[in-house]
Amino acid sequence: MRTILPSELDPVQTNALLTGGVGPRPIALASTVSRAGVRNLAPFSFFNAFGSNPPTVAFAPNRRARDGTVKHTYLNAVATGEFVIAAVTFAMVQQMNVASAEFPEGVDEFGPSGLTPLPAQRVAPALVGESPFQMECRLVREVDLGSGPGSGSLLVGEVVAFHVREDALRDGTLSPEALDLVGRNGGAWYTRAHGPALFQVPKPVGRPIGYDALPAVLRASPILTGNDLGRLANSPSLPPAAPPERRPSDPSAPESLERAIQAALLREDLPEAWRLATLRVILG
């Protein structure tokens, strides 16, 4: 593995490593308005949620890496203390991309992007009509994370109103399939959170047995992956010590047994996976 020290890089190179390795990142399409009433709309992928009581989000319209200048979004949010965060979907990603261009001061990016401004309820900046999930926010803190080109300018906001499109709600929770969000990777790459890209991982219940409690013969398997062993390690307990009843259809070769364990785990049949794993231990 190659080691790279930040001191050896310029801000543009550092940014390329951060954005390429930390991803996909959620995208905040930030809507602000100047004191003169001019709207601004720009996407930022240094963004996330950080608490629910009060509901708190933060994003970073950092200084430009090439020259250290401050972005209009930052100036507007600090001047007015308000902003709107709109989630970005696959259906609007190209329009969001237009809004990311560096238009001159005074340009309302809703126009060039073709996105629709709608009145918010609690703040002055506009909602984005195409977005299925939005947050009206009041600025509670600004944090300078450095100085000069590429330095962070973190804006922390309290959510004072959520807006959710009705079809994005399924049984009272937000559906990732209905939202069809996109995330930001490095360079020109994005990730679409939809279809086969989505999967579920059951949370541990109580205290799982852990990887170090698995039989050594399984941990040393050249076939079972880290994810396979992680699924077994997430079990609440080891199976009974009594040997499993051998079925006529059970594979006999260790490699075949390990592939059968993988197949059982993929179809979420944990009891069968453990039965085969116990058989594998017995066979040695």
Report residue 216 as tokens. 């050594």
pLDDT confidence of residue 281:
81
Distance of CA 205 to the CA centre of its chain: 23
State the Cα–Cα distance between residues 47 and 29, nearest whole angstrom.
Answer: 10
Cβ contacts of 78 within 8 Å, gap of 6 or more:
139, 142, 155
Residues 234 and 134 in one domain: no
117: which 2 tokens? 């401004």
Its pTM stands at 0.86
d(CA 183, CA 45): 8
Task: Specify whether 38 is located in the same domain as 175.
Answer: yes
Residue 231 and residue 164 share a domain? no
263 in a domain, yes or no?
yes
Per-residue confidence (pLDDT) for residue 282, from 0 to 100: 76
| In a domain? residue 204 | no
CB contact set of 109 (below 8 Å; sequence gap of 6+): 39, 40, 41, 42, 98, 99, 101, 103, 115
Say whether both 65 and 149 belong to one domain: yes
Task: Specify the 3-state DSSP secondary structure of 277.
Answer: helix
CA distance 222 to 255: 9
What pLDDT score was predicted for residue 79?
A: 96
Q: What pLDDT score does 241 carry?
A: 67
Q: Are residues 182 and 61 in the same domain?
A: yes
242 is in which domain, residue-wise?
Answer: 211-283
Q: Does residue 232 sit within a domain?
A: yes
Regarding whether 219 and 273 lie in a shared domain, the answer is yes
* Cβ-based neighbour number of residue 237 at 10 Å: 11
Cβ atoms < 10 Å from Cβ of 152? 14
d(CA 185, CA 191): 7
Give φ, ψ of 24 to 5 degrees.
-70, 145
Domains held by the chain: number = 2
Q: Spell out, as residue ranges, where the chain has pLDDT lower than 50.
A: none
Distance CA 64, CA 37 (A): 24
Three-state SS at 207: coil
What is the per-residue pLDDT for 274? 83
Helix, strand, coil percent values for the chain (each to nearest 5): 30, 25, 45
The domain boundary residue, chosen from 166, 197, 228: 197
